[in-house]
Structure formats: C-alpha cells, structure tokens
Amino acid sequence: MSGAGEFLCEGLKRSLSSMLPWDIPWYDPSHTVFFAALYGALSVIGIGVIAALILTVKRLKSVEGGSHH
C-alpha cells in the first residue's frame, strides 16, 4: 500500500471503530455533528414508521363489517 493509503487507513482505524454511540469519539467536533445529524434523522424516520403502524392498526380495528373501502 502506498504511504498516503496507509496513513488514511490508519487514521480511520484510530478514529472510528464502529458506528455505535458508545464507540464514537464525541470529543471530535466533526464526529459529533455528523453522528448527531445521523441519529437525529434515524430517530425521525423511526418515529414516523411507528406512528404509521399505530395509525394503520387503529384504522383496521375501526373498519365496520370487514369493509375495505
């Protein structure tokens, strides 16, 4: 591997071993901004999916006599 490739791989290996919250170096501002935005977006998507599931179940239970219209 070339000198630059080894440097980049070594730097990445040292800075981030996994994407789990307890493995992220939160003292680095670039990691903090990126992962805060990532986890924020994933949280919004997750809340939307859960809300859609709850509303779907409520609507299915309120259907009269098996009518699907």
Domain locations in the chain?
3-61
Instruction: Name, in order, each residue with C-beta under 8 angstroms of 19's C-beta and a sequence gap of 6 or more.
Output: 35
Is 90 exceeded by the pLDDT of residue 59?
Answer: yes
Q: What is the pLDDT of residue 69?
A: 58
Is 90 exceeded by the pLDDT of residue 8?
Answer: no
Q: Count the neighbouring beta carbons within 10 Å of the beta carbon of residue 39.
A: 13
Q: State the pTM of this model.
A: 0.60
Residue 66 token pair:
């098996």
Is 70 exceeded by the pLDDT of residue 31?
Answer: yes
Among residues 50, 48, 30, which one has the least CA distance to residue 38? 30
